[in-house]
Structure 1
Amino acid sequence: MGDEGRGTIGMKKQNGGVSCVDLFCGAGGLTHGFILEGLPVNAGIDLDPACRYPYEKNNGAVFIERDIARMESDEVAELFTSGTTRVLAGCAPCQPFSTYSQRYDTRSDGKWGLLYEFGRLARDIRPDIVTMENVPTVERHGVFKDFASELEGLGYQVWSDVVQCAQYGVPQRRRRMVLLASLHGPIRMIEPTHSKPRTVEQAIRRLPPVAAGERTPRDRLHVASSLTDKNLERIRASRPGGTWRDWPRHLVADCHKEDTGRTYPSVYGRMKWEEPAPTMTTQCYGYGNGRFGHPEQDRAITLREAAILQSFPRSYAFVEPRRSVQFSPIGRMIGNAVPVRLGRAIGRSILRHLSEVDSRSMNRRMVPGRRANAR
């Protein structure tokens, strides 16, 4: 049995005393990782209605289309199973914290406040464990420091650090900030699980070939965006790992001939088979949006390839059978997702912590008995 399914049924039986709620759940990357590790997830909350189908179809959890800023804490608390160890997880929208964002005004961008809303829910609900995932640059901002400080003030032991997703089996160079906090003692991320990163070749080489603007009949998501005649010339002139600087002069875009455009060599680039993919973005299906060209086929990667590079299972459904496949909403769900294998690593970290808590509790119960026998 492959890594995606190993031990799932047994772990579910062992950890029936845990329930999770996933804030800003998107299409379910974090939730799916938790479930594969045996952590039951009761519900996911997100504002994007397009996420409902993939979230519920692939995870068997309830999708709640709400703005958490407009939800009362009691409403979220009721989503947990009574009497269980409660895990509150989430990845607040990262655009305000991204290096691509040029504005850092908490008053003008409502998305900043979502991390404060996350903190409000943690303060009111007091779940046993809190976990948050976001872009690395979030740690530079006061809202993140406030979030961590508030948890510490509530009695949580907090760990946070930037992790490289490739070290946890994601076939992609993607650095993310992960925070773990527990009311029951020290908690931290497990050590990296992969000394050698998974490559683009290992992830997508076996998928059937497809031309630009076409899809395969058996998988509607294995569809590539179309290319203009000039972009078709450009990708044919591109080599894996190369840049637009390798092209004949007549193919170079005017913006790249200017000084301001010379520092963006990765756009219109091909991936390399033998390396992990670059970070998947919400527009990773577009050849001109980054190094998203297929290593050898003359096209950008397909939506399915992008999802696999985010470590979603190949069978993960993103759109209802009777609905058309649209690049923008599906690309947004894929690019914004927590990579499933990173979700598994976070879930495994929580399970290890709970096991350590159980062991400490058992040892405390056993010590008086051993002393009595000694007498």
Structure 2
Amino acid sequence: MMQMTNPKKKSVACIDLFCGAGGLTHGLVREGIPVVAGIDLDPACRYPYVQNNAAQFIEADVASVSAEKVATLFGQVDVKVLAGCAPCQPFSTYSQRYDAERDGKWGLLYEFARLTEETKPHIVTMENVPSVARHRVFKDFVSKLESLGYHVWHDVVDCSRYGVPQARRRMVLLASKLGDISLAPPTHSEPMTVREAIKVLTPIQAGQTCKKDPLHSAASLSELNMKRMKASKPGGTWRDWPKSLVADCHKQSTGKTFPSVYGRMEWDKPAPTMTTQCYGFGNGRFGHPSQNRAISLREAAVLQSFPPDYKFLPDGGDVNFSALGRLIGNAVPVGLGRAIGLSIKNHLVQH
């Protein structure tokens, strides 16, 4: 078992629930927090998680994971950290009208609370969309932690101030039985920009894949969408186009209020929030700032602050935009994972 770099040389182990492709795990490990296992229901997460992180991947529904299993994974260590990001879809603006107890995904946060109560980790951390705080399930989660004796901190965080070149705001929770805990101050005085992140990547065309990196692949564009792309300005909208290029749905009164599609990014600003469909020009402001195409899967991953050599598919593997886009868009940005890891490391040194 790896040891923390602190005066008491305490051994530490972390388990990452809902680990996805490994964004949170990778950030924690890079800050010296050893992660022994990641748990996720999606089998597609196995390859990127295992290939990039020295941790075991367990394909399982967190609801079916027992406290005994988690305790075995932790092993005999001095400090146990339980981390995770429950699926955020139930907490989206669209889903706010649904009852927490009627959507199975809502209950996953209760399963997180169950494992916390049963395994008694010293530190707990959770990441999710900002709107999660408005829901009863989150309030119940915080109340449970407090009732178990945890010092709880949570707030909405601007990820661009922590090395994520993206306008992404996330709710971060940190809880500790050792004493007061909070997120480390921003590591960047100014937001990271698209230019800083992807300017060095090899130029490619729509529908083309870089020979040196199969993940640096851009979706093809129809003839009409190529015309729209060429008419698009960085930071602009479809309102800048000639009327002949505007989609029928946007000409209607109900569509005029949705300008944030078919847009190009700006070089000297953070990228928009990466989604599971960030590889599509028509799915948001995912047009490349200067090349006539949507961003590639690799660019999306880098904008999620994954290292440029992070492996998402095996050699010779098929580039499935939908599957890979899901892995990348759903990931916890590595930069935010590092901020959480740094915060835990500082906390352990202090206490």
TM-score bracket, normalised by the shorter chain, equals over 0.9
Query: 1 or 2 for the larger relative contact order (CA 8 Å, sep ≥6)?
Result: 2
Alpha-carbon deviation of 1:70?
Answer: 1.0
- Alpha-carbon distance in structure 1 between the residues aligned to 2:101 and 2:84: 22
Could you give the per-residue CA deviations for residues 267-317 of structure 1, whole angstroms, max 9, x where no partner exists? Answer: 000000010000000000000000000001000000000000000000000
State the 4+ residue runs in structure 1 displaced beyond 3 angstroms: 8-16
Question: Hey, what does 2:280 align to over in structure 1?
Answer: 286
User: SS of the residue aligned with 2:81?
Assistant: strand
Equivalences for residues 209-358 of structure 1 within 5 A: 209-357=203-351
1:90 paired residue among 68, 84, 91: 84
Could you give the per-residue CA deviations for residues 72-104 of structure 1, whole angstroms, max 9, x where no partner exists? Answer: 111112111313200000000000001243542
* TM-score, structure 2 as length reference: 0.97
- Alpha-carbon distance in structure 1 between the residues aligned to 2:336 and 2:222: 36
Question: Hey, what does 2:128 align to over in structure 1?
Answer: 134
- Alpha-carbon distance in structure 1 between the residues aligned to 2:142 and 2:258: 35
Equivalences for residues 107-256 of structure 1 within 5 A: 107-256=101-250
* TM-score, structure 1 as length reference: 0.91
Q: Which deviates the most, 10-19 or 165-174?
A: 10-19
- Alpha-carbon distance in structure 1 between the residues aligned to 2:198 and 2:325: 17
Q: Which deviates the most, 172-181 or 12-21?
A: 12-21
Question: RMSD in angstroms over aligned alpha carbons?
Answer: 1.6
- Alpha-carbon distance in structure 2 between the residues aligned to 1:12 and 1:289: 46
User: SS of the residue aligned with 1:261?
Assistant: coil
Go from structure 1 to structure 2 and tell me whether the alpha carbon gap of 1:103 and 1:112 turns closer, same or farther (over 3 Å shift).
same
Quote the sequence identity (%).
Answer: 65
Alpha-carbon deviation of 1:250?
Answer: 0.9
Question: Hey, what does 1:360 align to over in structure 2?
Answer: none
Question: Hey, what does 1:25 align to over in structure 2?
Answer: 19
Q: Which deviates the most, 255-264 or 130-139?
A: 255-264
- Alpha-carbon distance in structure 1 between the residues aligned to 2:299 and 2:207: 15
Go from structure 1 to structure 2 and tell me whether the alpha carbon gap of 1:216 and 1:266 turns closer, same or farther (over 3 Å shift).
same
- Alpha-carbon distance in structure 2 between the residues aligned to 1:355 and 1:88: 18
8 A contact 2:6–2:349 mirrored in 1: no
Amino acid at match of 2:215: L
- Alpha-carbon distance in structure 2 between the residues aligned to 1:301 and 1:225: 8
Structure 2 unmatched ranges of 5 or more: none
Could you give the per-residue CA deviations for residues 180-234 of structure 1, whole angstroms, max 9, x where no partner exists? Answer: 0000110000111111111101100111111101111000000000111100000
- Alpha-carbon distance in structure 2 between the residues aligned to 1:85 and 1:49: 29
1:54 aligns with 2:48: yes
Structure 1 unmatched ranges of 5 or more: 1-7, 358-375
- Alpha-carbon distance in structure 1 between the residues aligned to 2:234 and 2:142: 41
Amino acid at match of 1:46: D
Amino acid at match of 1:137: S
- Alpha-carbon distance in structure 2 between the residues aligned to 1:130 and 1:13: 22
- Alpha-carbon distance in structure 2 between the residues aligned to 1:99 and 1:284: 19
User: SS of the residue aligned with 2:234?
Assistant: coil
8 A contact 1:12–1:40 mirrored in 2: no
8 A contact 1:18–1:87 mirrored in 2: yes
8 A contact 2:10–2:79 mirrored in 1: no
**How many equivalent residue pairs?**
350
